[in-house]
Amino acid sequence: MFKLFRFLKPYWWQLIILILATGVQVWTTLRLPALMADIINDGIVPGNTDYIWVTGARMIGLAVISAISSLVSSYFAARVGTSYARDVREAIFTRIINFNLLDLKEFSTASLITRTTNDVNQVQMVTIMIFAIMLRAPLFLVISIIMAIQTAPDMSWIIMVGAVSIIGSAILIMSLVMPKFKIFQELIDKITLITRENLTGLKVVRAFDNEKLEKKKFTKTNDALTKLLIFIDKVLELQNPLINIIFNGTTLLCSWVGISLLSKDFAYLGNMTAFAQYVGHVMMSFLMMSMLFVMLPRANVSAHRINDVLKRVPKINWKNKTNGVPDREAKVEFKNVDFCYPEANEKVLGDVSFEAKAGETTAFIGSTGSGKSTLINLVPRFYEATAGEILINGLSIKEYAKDDLMKRIGYVPQRGMLFAGTVKSNIKFGAPDATDEDMRKSARIAQAENFIEKLPEKYNSHISQGGTNVSGGQKQRLSIARAICKKPDIFIFDDAFSALDMKTDARLREALKEITDSAVVLIVAQRVSTIKDAEQIVVLDNGRVVGKGTHLELLKKCKVYQEIVKSQFSDQEFKTEMKKAEKGGRRA
């Protein structure tokens, strides 16, 4: 929490005003009871009406000053608190947008969103509370105690009694309840889990007619939650009556002690009333601070979560300017590339080498976990190779400026991802200067033209946040069009065709040939049919290259590849394919 306070630095002068205003407010508020005591002692007792009026006027003056300073401090608390939250939010966003895939994987999108919004809100709320309470309560506490002792020194032990009983009861209640809060949170999470399961498994639950079983599970947790809730409330609700008893008790004590001291000094008549009010302020301050101690741990959790993000230094360093001159001709080259996750023993990729030339398609195939997707993500430096070298157009990727490298790459991710806007803004996402002609051509090649033309406003049709208003296949085709529209040197399709049906897949690959004469095409695929025609197929198994060549070459010599083909083709088809391979035909 306090680590984040570095973001308060630009607002130091506002903070100073805030502290001053708070000080003035506390002092004026606390002067009032003293003046009232004066009215009783020097006005009422001797019967001096003029004194009463004059002091009354002073009190009004103080009340007005108090209100004004209170307004000023509230204003600055809100101002500083919200500016601070804005800066923290922006820092988080900037950091996250520069994360690489490793960082993203570690945090998960959902948790990053919570960190940017909810956690910052939590911190903002507590920060404003700290301004309001943490500054005020200690001031109140100290000044009240001083003034109380000044007004009635013989009664000051009552402050101790009041403070100790308030703190004692707060500690008692908290120590009973705090440990239960964790269990409470767990039960709430479990309720949510069961509900979520019942929602996502709606059809399965109904198919097996297991509503009763599910309800039983739910009821068990629900009952446990109810019991715990009643327990927590039972203890927490002790607080109010206890505080009431303590407040009334100390007030009574003040009166009683004050009256018994009257014989010593008649001024106690006014003083005991003022004193009772000071003691009230002291106890209030303790209460306020204990409230903060309840809030603080929660905000601290949030602050930690924010710091985790801010602490993360980007692992990949980009050159500001490309260092060297890349070749004109497109080419991707891997030289003995290794990749392994930080702190992992096993390599995800080991000693991968290949060359992908312009005008050719290089495909990667292998079972889940073989590392094919990781491999392809090394090219745009979403991950950083741990050993070996990757060259693009003859120049190591580490020598490129980020934008210079990215403009050469047309990347299509596994899941089609769109952004709120229009069809047009999505296709031109990576090439804002593209002409409408280019855009239409890209859509046509990506097999998206048909459905776009059917949309009510064609290319100007609205795409909602995350592209939820188009189907999965349409999303995928639009993301392919987006990559095409960039006219990149290198196309990367990270398993981008799996969401398409075989027919569209085939048509798209056919159309793609039209624009990939001088481009490198890298494809990760699940289906053999998608990559059968590739000039080069790289077969991966457990992160190693176990075969390289064309479809027919690999059928002949690569066992892993044979297995893959066998699992996807019928026996008869497999036999024909094998026969073709044995004949040595190079035609696919």
Q: 488-502 burial by CB neighbour count: b if 16+ within 10 A, else e?
A: bbbbbbbbbbebbee
- Residue 15 to residue 81: CA distance in whole angstroms: 10
- Residue 316 to residue 381: CA distance in whole angstroms: 8
Cβ of residue 138: shortest distance to other proteins, in angstroms?
18
Cβ of residue 23: shortest distance to other proteins, in angstroms?
15
Name which position in 26, 34, 112, 309 contacts other proteins (CB under 8 A).
112
Cβ of residue 400: shortest distance to other proteins, in angstroms?
12
The answer to whether residue 422 forms part of the interface with other proteins (CB under 8 A) is no
- For the segment 344-373, give every residue that binds other proteins (CB under 8 A): 367-370
Contact 314, 99 (CB under 8 A): yes
The answer to whether residue 207 forms part of the interface with other proteins (CB under 8 A) is yes
Name which position in 2, 12, 182, 240 contacts other proteins (CB under 8 A).
240
- Residue 584 to residue 580: CA distance in whole angstroms: 7
- Write the DSSP assignment of 118-159 as a string of letters: IIHHHHHHHHHHIIIIITHHHHHHHHHHHHHHHH-GGGTHHH
Name which position in 218, 444, 487, 535 contacts other proteins (CB under 8 A).
218
Stretch that binds other proteins, among 139-147, 350-358, 454-462, 495-503 (CB under 8 A): 495-503
Say how many CA atoms lie within 13 Å of 69 toward its Cβ: 20
CA-CA distances (angstroms) from residue 152 to 267, 271, 280? 9, 6, 15
The answer to whether residue 195 forms part of the interface with other proteins (CB under 8 A) is yes
The strand pair at 536-541 and 544-549 is best described as antiparallel
- Residue 428 to residue 345: CA distance in whole angstroms: 42
The answer to whether residue 223 forms part of the interface with other proteins (CB under 8 A) is yes
- For the segment 528-547, give every residue that binds other proteins (CB under 8 A): 529
- Residue 196 to residue 210: CA distance in whole angstroms: 16
The answer to whether residue 335 forms part of the interface with other proteins (CB under 8 A) is no
The answer to whether residue 499 forms part of the interface with other proteins (CB under 8 A) is yes
Cβ of residue 336: shortest distance to other proteins, in angstroms?
25
Which residues fall within 8 angstroms of residue 133, CB to CB, at 6 or more apart?
Answer: 288, 289, 291, 292
The answer to whether residue 452 forms part of the interface with other proteins (CB under 8 A) is no
The answer to whether residue 294 forms part of the interface with other proteins (CB under 8 A) is no
- Residue 243 to residue 129: CA distance in whole angstroms: 22
For other proteins, which is the closer residue by CB, 154 or 197?
197
- Residue 315 to residue 384: CA distance in whole angstroms: 8
Residue 4, sorted as left (phi over 0), alpha (psi -120 to 50) or beta, turns out to be alpha
For other proteins, which is the closer residue by CB, 238 or 387?
238
For other proteins, which is the closer residue by CB, 44 or 387?
44
The two tokens of residue 456 are 């009510």
For other proteins, which is the closer residue by CB, 1 or 80?
80
Name which position in 20, 161, 172, 188 contacts other proteins (CB under 8 A).
188
The answer to whether residue 216 forms part of the interface with other proteins (CB under 8 A) is no
Cβ of residue 45: shortest distance to other proteins, in angstroms?
8
Cβ of residue 577: shortest distance to other proteins, in angstroms?
10
Name which position in 16, 142, 213, 301 contacts other proteins (CB under 8 A).
213
Contact 564, 372 (CB under 8 A): no
* Alpha helix (H) residue ranges in 447-585: 449-454, 472-485, 502-512, 528-531, 551-557, 559-568, 571-583
Handedness of CA 236, 237, 243, 246 (dihedral sign): negative
x/- track of binding to other proteins for residues 58-87 (CB under 8 A)? -xx--xx-xx--xx--xx-xxx-xxx-xx-
Name which position in 252, 294, 301, 325 contacts other proteins (CB under 8 A).
252
The answer to whether residue 455 forms part of the interface with other proteins (CB under 8 A) is no
For other proteins, which is the closer residue by CB, 138 or 421?
421
Cβ of residue 348: shortest distance to other proteins, in angstroms?
15
- Residue 500 to residue 412: CA distance in whole angstroms: 13
The answer to whether residue 588 forms part of the interface with other proteins (CB under 8 A) is yes
The answer to whether residue 466 forms part of the interface with other proteins (CB under 8 A) is yes
User: Is residue 201 classed as helix, strand or coil in its secondary structure?
Assistant: coil
The answer to whether residue 104 forms part of the interface with other proteins (CB under 8 A) is yes
The answer to whether residue 450 forms part of the interface with other proteins (CB under 8 A) is no
For other proteins, which is the closer residue by CB, 161 or 387?
161
- For the segment 28-57, give every residue that binds other proteins (CB under 8 A): 29, 32, 35-36, 39-40, 43-44, 47-49, 52-53, 55-56
The answer to whether residue 308 forms part of the interface with other proteins (CB under 8 A) is no
Which residue, among 128, 129, 121, 111, has the nearest Cα to 89 in the 3D structure? 121
The answer to whether residue 403 forms part of the interface with other proteins (CB under 8 A) is yes
Contact 374, 348 (CB under 8 A): yes
For other proteins, which is the closer residue by CB, 245 or 336?
245
Cβ of residue 544: shortest distance to other proteins, in angstroms?
15
For other proteins, which is the closer residue by CB, 336 or 583?
583
- Write the DSSP assignment of 397-456 as a string of letters: GGGSBHHHHHTTEEEE-SS----SEEHHHHHTSS-TT--HHHHHHHHHHTT-HHHHHHST
Query: How many residues contact other proteins, by CB under 8 A?
Result: 154
- For the segment 133-172, give every residue that binds other proteins (CB under 8 A): none
Which residues fall within 8 angstroms of residue 6, CB to CB, at 6 or more apart?
Answer: none
Q: Chain-centre distance of CA 83, in angstroms? A: 19
For other proteins, which is the closer residue by CB, 204 or 325?
204
The answer to whether residue 226 forms part of the interface with other proteins (CB under 8 A) is yes
For other proteins, which is the closer residue by CB, 350 or 380?
380
- For the segment 559-578, give every residue that binds other proteins (CB under 8 A): 563-564, 567-571, 573
- Write the DSSP assignment of 11-39 as a string of letters: GHHHHHHHHHHHHHHHHHHHHHHHHHHHI
- Residue 134 to residue 19: CA distance in whole angstroms: 11
For other proteins, which is the closer residue by CB, 262 or 336?
262
Cβ of residue 437: shortest distance to other proteins, in angstroms?
20
- Residue 38 to residue 35: CA distance in whole angstroms: 5
Name which position in 238, 284, 340, 578 contacts other proteins (CB under 8 A).
238
